[in-house]
Amino acid sequence: MVSQGWRSITQPFFITKNLVISIIVIIFTEHLKRITMATKKPIFSIGVKVQIYPGDTHSKFATIIDIDPVGHTFEITKSDASEYNVGDIIFWSHSSPLKMKLIK
């Protein structure tokens, strides 16, 4: 009986403490995202020339023609890969990994 009373007193304290820590972390993370979004211009925006998968065996260069919540749309400007031709319009979903290098 005594051990059950001890658990019921201390267990809510640990749950409350973890809950408070989680809320603080979430608030801080969201605040940091807002500050970052407000102060930084996106590097990869429409019209920017990029190299897709830099360091790949077959180089692929493109211009970003659209960015939406689902993914990026590119127009290939130069390619050594046989599956991509100059002028091809390619879509890459945000769910698939994509590495890009900014071309200045």
Which domain does 17 fall in, by range? 1-40
Average pLDDT, the chain: 79
Whether residue 62 sits in one domain with residue 36: no
The predicted-structure confidence for 17-54, as pLDDT tens digits, reads as follows 777 777 777 877 776 666 555 555 567 888 999 999 89
**pLDDT-derived band at 71, boundaries 50, 70, 90:** confident
Better-scored residue on pLDDT, 69 or 3: 69
> Cα–Cα distance between 18 and 23 in angstroms, integer?
9
Whether residue 34 sits in one domain with residue 61: no
pTM beyond 0.75: the answer is no
Whether residue 22 sits in one domain with residue 5: yes
Whether residue 25 sits in one domain with residue 58: no
Whether residue 34 sits in one domain with residue 7: yes
Contact 47, 53 (CB under 8 A): no
Output phi, psi for 55, to 5 deg. 90, -5
Whether residue 66 sits in one domain with residue 36: no
Whether residue 82 sits in one domain with residue 65: yes
Model pLDDT, residue 1: 47
**pLDDT-derived band at 76, boundaries 50, 70, 90:** very high
